Structure 1
Amino acid sequence: MGEHRYEVEVTWSGATTGYRDYTRNHELLAAGRPNIPATADPKFRGDKTRWNPEQLLVASLSDCHMLWYLHLCAEAGIVVTNYHDTAEGVMDNVRFQQVTLRPQVTIRDAEQAEQAAALHAEAHKRCFIANSVNFPVAHEPTVITAD
């Protein structure tokens, strides 16, 4: 498959005159993409209206899993019509302890529900982000049919 590279810029400006005084707001940039307004977690003096690194990590795990899952379903002939995940990460003061993905997937054919549910395990095995973290990523999928 070869090596893939991902270039991202992080830009911040301000003055670090004291821990309570400087802004945590910054921008995440990548060529040809919209900027992402980012900050620290509000517990660490961040802006609650911006994305923080912890949320972005949980989102990356959820997103990667979804993309692999949709790929596997397409290969298996399972028609997915909707996918919604409410992912949650649990972190202590040092590191993430676990992330739980709770995808709710709508498929067209009820006879494929068992196979559709089983593909979550394979998606997890293939997810680049899940393979890169040192904490468990759990899955609590639900499969429903469109009718």
Structure 2
Amino acid sequence: MSVHEAAISWTHAPHAIEPNTYSRNHSVSLKGNQEVAVSASVEFKGDANCADPEQMLISAVSSCHMLFFLAIAEMQGFQVASYQDDPKGYLERNGKQGMAITRIELSPRITFGGDKVPDQETISNIHSKAHNSCFIRNSVTAEVTINAT
């Protein structure tokens, strides 16, 4: 078992555009003295210049998948030269309590280096193992799909 921590800090301030409500801007402090400026998404009166919780959730799923993919590829003797992803999360009515991120689509683009390059079936198998192993994916109810290229 491991414990993971963050610190959230918000102080009342007027909304920059709508004076009859409050600012949704706050900060998240992470390990290593990292500060992330966070707000609600723009659709919910948030600041477009800040990350929003939905972005952070889909980023966490994508990052976790990538880290497992890299580890599995390395264990199988493959060298990943680069890995990029543009994950998308869909905030939709979930038919139960209202709104939820119901679907997350990962679109990893991977290039390999070294002498040993996997074929498409092997890459798909690595994605499958990463998908099943990812702690964050296993913690959410959203459907996560992988559209690898």
Q: Secondary structure at the match of 1:141?
A: coil
Matched with 1:131 is 138
- Alpha carbons 1:107, 1:113 under 8 Å: kept: no
CA distance in 1, matches of 2:6, 2:19: 26
Aligned Cα root-mean-square deviation (Å) = 2.0
Matched with 2:29 is 29
* 1:107 partnered with 2:112: yes
Matched with 2:56 is 56
CA distance in 1, matches of 2:20, 2:144: 34
2:119 is aligned with what amino acid?
A: A
TM-score by length of 1: 0.87
**Paired residues for 1:1-147 under 5 Å:** 3-15=1-13, 20-93=20-93, 94-108=99-113, 109=115, 111-114=117-120, 115-142=122-149
- Alpha carbons 1:14, 1:23 under 8 Å: kept: yes
Q: Cα deviations across residues 4-29 of structure 1 (Å, max 9, x unaligned)?
A: 11111100001589994211000001
CA change 1:81–1:13 in 2 (3 A) is same
Gaps of 5+ in 1: 143-147
1:133 is aligned with what amino acid?
A: V
CA distance in 1, matches of 2:61, 2:126: 16
TM-score by length of 2: 0.86
Deviation at 1:96, TM superposition (A): 1.3
Deviation at 1:85, TM superposition (A): 0.5
Amino-acid identity (%): 30
1:92 is aligned with what amino acid?
A: E
Q: How many residues align?
A: 140
CA distance in 2, matches of 1:66, 1:52: 21
- Alpha carbons 1:20, 1:45 under 8 Å: kept: no
